[in-house]
Amino acid sequence: MLILIAGITGNIGQHAARHALTLGHQVRGLSRTPDKLDPSIMARCEDFVCSTTYYDIAALDQACAGVDAVICAYAGIPELHLDGQLLLLRAAERAGVKRFLAASHNNDWRKIAMGEVPIYDPARMFHVQAALTSTMKPLHIFSGTFVDVLFGGEGQGDFTPEVGGVWDSRTDPPQLHVWGSGHEKWCLTTEEDGGRWAAELVTSDNAENGGFVSLCSMELSLMELKDTYERLRGREVQIIRRGTIKDLETTVEEMKEAGSHWADWLRYAFVLYCTKGTWALIKDSFEGFHPSTPTSLEAWLEKRPSV
C-alpha cells in the first residue's frame, strides 16, 4: 500500500514510516520541516510534501492524492488534533481514501468527561464530528502512557515533578515521585511500538471499518518500574512520597479553582487518572490486525543507556 504519514517528522511518524517500509509498503510524508526527517527514511519515501501550515489545503490535497491509507501522526496540540485532523480528513475524503488512523496512542478518553483532561477533548470532538459527517470511519488506538514521556525522552517536553510528572533524572540518585501506594498498575507503551502498531493497523484487513483498538507494551506499577531500573542500572532510585490519591485529587481541584491555565494542572490530572486506574486498558482484538510483539521495559532501557 501507499501510506501517507501526516506529521512524519515526529517521533511516532518516523517509527511508523520505518516499520511500514520494512513491511514492504510505500510511504509518502507530509510535514512543514523535511530537515527533521531521518535521511534514511527520506531517501526511501515515495514522495514528500512540504506544507506551510496545517491548513495548507493545496498541500493536503497533493499529499492525499492516490494514497491507500492515511496515518495522522500530528503532535498533541489542540489545534492539530481538531482543526488539523478535520482538514486532513476532508482532503482524504476528496481523494477517495478509505483507511484513516487518527492521531492516537492516547489514554482512553471515553472513560472521562469533557474538561477533565483537556488535551484529549479535541481528539474526542474530532471523533464525534467524523462520525456525524464523514463517509470515512477513522481508526483510533488507545495505548496508555508513553514510556518515553514518563522518562522525559527526547522531544517529549517537560514531565518533571515540578509540573506534575513523576520521574526526575536531574537528581543523584534519580527520583520517582509517587502518589498513592506506588503499586497501582499503569498501562505503558514505547513510542516505537506505537509507530509499528500504527503501520500494522492501518494496513490490516478490516481497517476501512474503523473503530477502536486498545493495547499497550506493558502494565507496570511505579514500584515495579523502580525495581527494574535499579536492577538494570545498578543504582538506587529515591522514592518521594507526595501523598494519597485523595491528596492528588485535591491538588488538581485547587489548581482548577484558582483559575490556573489548563496546561498548569494537566500533568497532575494525567497522573491522577493513571494512578486511579481510570484508564486501565481492556485489551481487545481487531479482526485482521495482528500486532507485532510488544517491547519490555528492560529492552527499552537497554537501548537507552542515558536514561
Domain chopping of the chain, boundaries: 2-144+190-216+280-292, 148-185+220-276
Torsion sign across C-alpha atoms 151, 145, 18, 102: negative
Distance CA 18, CA 48 (A): 15
Set of cell numbers at residue 170: 536531574
Please name the residues in contact with 49: beta carbons below 8 A apart, sequence gap of 6 or more.
28, 29, 30, 59, 62, 63
Q: What was the pLDDT predicted at 155?
A: 47
* Contact status, residue 25 vs residue 199, Cβ threshold 8 Å: yes
What pLDDT shows up at residue 305? Answer: 92
Give backbone dihedrals phi and psi of 110, rounded to 5 degrees, phi first: -70, -20
Q: 10-residue block means of pLDDT along the chain (307 residues)?
A: 98 98 99 96 98 98 99 96 98 98 94 95 98 97 94 69 92 96 97 97 96 95 98 97 98 92 93 96 80 96 93
- pTM score > 0.85 for this model? yes
How much is the pLDDT for 214? 94
Question: Considering only the top CATH level, what class is 2-144+190-216+280-292?
Answer: alpha beta
- When the candidates are 3.30.300, 3.30.70, 3.90.25, 3.30.530, the CATH number that belongs to 148-185+220-276 is 3.90.25
Which grid coordinates are listed for 233?
542500572
CA distance 295 to 216: 9
148 exposure class (CB count in 10 Å sphere: 0-12, 13-18, 19+): buried
Using DSSP bridges, classify how beta strands 167-168 and 175-179 pair: parallel, antiparallel or unpaired: antiparallel
